[in-house]
Amino acid sequence: MSFFFRCEVFDGSDACVTPVVSLAEAPHHKLNKFRKSFFTKNEGDFPPIPKPSPVMSRTPGVTTAEQQDNEPGQHTEEVLAEMGYSKEDIAKFAASGAITLVRSKL
């Protein structure tokens, strides 16, 4: 019997009790199941990947692992441009190896 099942004795009370469980047990806890706090990319993958918490209704967090289409460096050029760097500066950064640029494959 895992630890979190023993905590059920506190259900419905004012006691503030939170179990400390292993990564293997955490996805099976009823609150984590209800909130869909963990996910796997492929059925049966282990360990499951925790999602950001707390979950906000208007701005839900998304883990990098959930964004399967993104690659490292895919948005670097856009972000640096938004920060005020010129195209020339960005090209210098890329040429020096300081950043990696990944162009869209479209």
- Tokens representing 79 are 């972000």
Q: Which helix (H) or strand (E) holds 14?
A: none
Q: Residue 92: pLDDT above 90?
A: yes
**pTM of the predicted structure, to 2 decimals:** 0.45
Q: Note the pLDDT tens digit of each residue in 52-88.
A: 877 777 776 666 666 666 677 788 999 999 999 999 9
Q: Give the helix, strand, coil percentages of the chain, each rounded to 5.
A: 35, 5, 60
Which amino acid is it at 15?
Answer: A
- For the chain, what percent of residues have pLDDT higher than 70? 79
Strands (E), the chain: 38-39, 49-50
How many CA atoms are closer than 13 Å to the CA of 75, on its beta-carbon side?
A: 7
